[in-house]
Structure 1
Amino acid sequence: MTPRIDDAPTTEARMLEIVFPDHTNHLGTLFGGTALAWMDKAAFIAASRYARRTVVTARSEQVDFKLPIKQGQLVEIIASVVEVGRTSMQVEVELIAEDLLSGDRELCTRGRFVMIALDARGRPAQVAQLPAPSGDAA
């Protein structure tokens, strides 16, 4: 019998990266541009999985760098589609740094990205609305 693989939520994407020396500035902390690139990639994946279309980044909003991410730390990037318009998706992205030896984890960076779904001609395409949360009373 083939084991069943549960489907991950199509509104979410998770990535892992390790911070190597070439990712860091002179203080040994992650370059902001690298953090933004990782966040944009995760937002792209989450929006693409949700829309099942080609997507592009339209805007990044309110990226807050709360704590530095240090060389040697593991970074979990979590992107979630939180709002859907006609052709756009708002994706919330968090960077959580983890010390590999202690297991301590901290939310270091959070931001929001607006992604646009495209049709085969490269024009904005309609996206399905988010499903209603389960357990809502009618």
Structure 2
Amino acid sequence: MNALPPVVPPTEVRMVEIVFPNHTNHLGTLFGGQAMAWMDKAAFLAAARYSRRTVVTAHSDQVDFKLPIRIGEMVETVGRVVEVGRSSMTVQVELIAEDLHSGERKLCTRGHFVMVALDADGRPTSVPPLPPQA
């Protein structure tokens, strides 16, 4: 039986959704609140996966809605841990829309979320440092 290689803490997650009418505003584009919910979920998953701890959102910073996302487009949400403090992790999150017919992809939204790792008593706890960039 082959041994598995050592696990390096992953720093990225990817999620995919399709924009349905119930996700949109009166203009037929993705509602900002829905975009924020998907982004917060990706930030949570990236931070929890990286730290292997319970995490909570402490702060969201400068979410830029650059381009609209329309009904029927696929949305790839990418969360990456980009900075680590003692108990906090900054996760950059991007929403990339893809037209399923043409394959055209566009970066539509980007933001940063600060997540804090908690111990069993709900107090901030330390997380591992980011590995050096290769």
Task: Tell me which residue corresponds to 1:40.
Answer: 40
Task: Tell me which residue corresponds to 1:133.
Answer: 133
Task: Tell me which residue corresponds to 2:72.
Answer: 72
Distance 1:10 1:73, change over 3 A: same
Tell me the SS of whatever aligns to 2:127. Answer: coil
Distance 1:8 1:17, change over 3 A: farther
Query: Which letter does structure 1 place at the counterpart of 2:61?
Result: E
Task: Tell me which residue corresponds to 1:91.
Answer: 91
Equivalent residues of 2:9, 2:49 under 8 A apart = no
Task: Provide the C-alpha distance between the structure 2 equivalents of 1:34 and 1:102, rounded to a whole number of angstroms.
Answer: 24
Task: Tell me which residue corresponds to 1:30.
Answer: 30
Aligned residues: 131
Alpha-carbon deviation of 1:8? Answer: 9.0
Give the RMSD, CA atoms, in angstroms.
Answer: 1.7
Tell me the SS of whatever aligns to 2:96. Answer: strand
Alpha-carbon deviation of 1:133? Answer: 1.4
Task: Tell me which residue corresponds to 2:60.
Answer: 60
Query: Which letter does structure 2 place at the counterpart of 1:19?
Result: V
Of residues 8-17 and 54-63 in structure 1, the stretch that sits farther from structure 2 once superposed is 8-17
Q: Give the gaps of 5 or more residues in structure 1.
A: none
Moved over 2 A (4+): none
Task: Tell me which residue corresponds to 1:100.
Answer: 100
Equivalent residues of 2:9, 2:51 under 8 A apart = no
TM-score (norm 2): 0.94
Query: Which letter does structure 1 place at the counterpart of 2:20?
Result: F
Distance 1:78 1:48, change over 3 A: same
> Once the two structures are superposed, what CA deviation does each residue of 1:52-93 show, in whole Å capped at 9, x if it has no partner?
000000000000000000000000000000000000000000
TM-score (norm 1): 0.91
Task: Provide the C-alpha distance between the structure 2 equivalents of 1:124 and 1:115, rounded to a whole number of angstroms.
Answer: 10
Tell me the SS of whatever aligns to 2:80. Answer: strand
